[in-house]
Amino acid sequence: MVLVAGVRFKRAGKIYHFDPNNLALAPGDSVIVETTRGVEMGRVVTPIVELPDAEVVKPLKKVVRQATPDDLAMLAKNRDKESEAAVVAREKIAARNLPMKLIGVEYAFDGSKIVFYFTAEGRIDFRELVKDLAGVFRTRIELRQIGVRDEAKLIGGLGCCGRELCCSSWLSDFTSVSIRMAKDQNLSLNPTKISGICGRLMCCLKYENDTYEQEKVGFPDPGSRVVTPDGEGRVTAINIFKKTVGVELKESKLVRDYPVSAVTVKGRERTDGGKNAQE
């Protein structure tokens, strides 16, 4: 077992474990730590806890110290410099006529490196741009191409729910989201209604997906052939909230809703163009 403190470097960034180094750290404390990218300032977001060795990435780096007023002033100064660097970078990009869009700039805490985040349709040869920027800032320059979801995370904004974007406010990792989740939740498949401002499927489709999957147990699948009190039919829809099944009756072709307990599965029609499969 090993004692660790959870530290986050961005508001909705990943949580990294550090050795508290015998310091009395509490959530909310700003700390100086040594990382693979150099000296950085982060914020403690979890209490000091004891974890099994197998759950900790080795070697575990130590917290150097709690942040001082001078450290906080340095961080604020870096934020101001980031805004200035963004203006210069956009001018250089325009001068080179490069098909890329600058999204954000990040100064390393110790000023040893500047990272420029950008989006582009394809691969960009930015070697000359790096030379231009290095000549201005006289430090190590890194250009990092990101996707549209990362762009939304960096820029932030409001979702269709009226709340701040999950990715920029608290969601530390992107999860896989599929159109099947929207189908299972009986949502409109209109892309404008199930896509976020990044243009990809909304992350929140994942939140209730497990509940829908659990509640669907015991329901016949859409396409299944069932027997109802009014005769045989084919399942066209299910409603896990009302506990009902929509069935298109074989004889009348009418669609009626029945309690799930009132229908019996007879078989399911295949949707791959093959013959019917009996269950």
Confidence of residue 74 (pLDDT cuts 50, 70, 90): very high
Out of 96, 124, 146, pick the residue that ends a domain.
146
Q: What is the pLDDT, as a whole number, of residue 11?
A: 86
Does residue 133 share a domain with residue 80? yes
At 166-217, the pLDDT tens digits run 999 998 888 899 999 998 888 889 998 999 999 999 999 999 899 888 888 8
Does residue 78 share a domain with residue 58? no
* Pairwise CA distance, residues 262 & 145, whole Å: 56
Q: What is the pLDDT, as a whole number, of residue 136?
A: 93
Residue 83 in domain: yes
Q: What is the pLDDT, as a whole number, of residue 52?
A: 86
Domain span including residue 79? 73-146
Give 258's contacts (C-beta < 8 A, 6+ positions apart): 228, 229, 244, 245, 247
Q: Check whether the bond before 59 is cis (ω within 30° of 0).
A: yes
Residues of the chain above pLDDT 90, percent: 54
Out of 109, 128, 146, pick the residue that ends a domain.
146
| Count of domains forming the chain | 4
Does residue 78 share a domain with residue 139? yes
Q: What is the mean pLDDT of residues 236-259?
A: 89
Residue 59 in domain: yes
Q: What secondary structure does DSSP assign to 166-199, as a single string? A: HHHHT--S-----HHHHHHTT----HHHHB-TTS
List, in sequence order, every beta strand (DSSP E) within the chain.
Answer: 2-8, 15-18, 30-35, 38-51, 63-66, 101-107, 113-119, 140-145, 224-228, 231-239, 244-249, 255-259, 264-268
Q: Is the pTM of this model over 0.95?
A: no
Out of 98, 128, 146, pick the residue that ends a domain.
146
Name residue 45's amino acid. V
Does residue 103 share a domain with residue 59? no
Q: What is the pLDDT, as a whole number, of residue 267?
A: 54
On the question of pLDDT at 143 being above 90, the answer is: yes
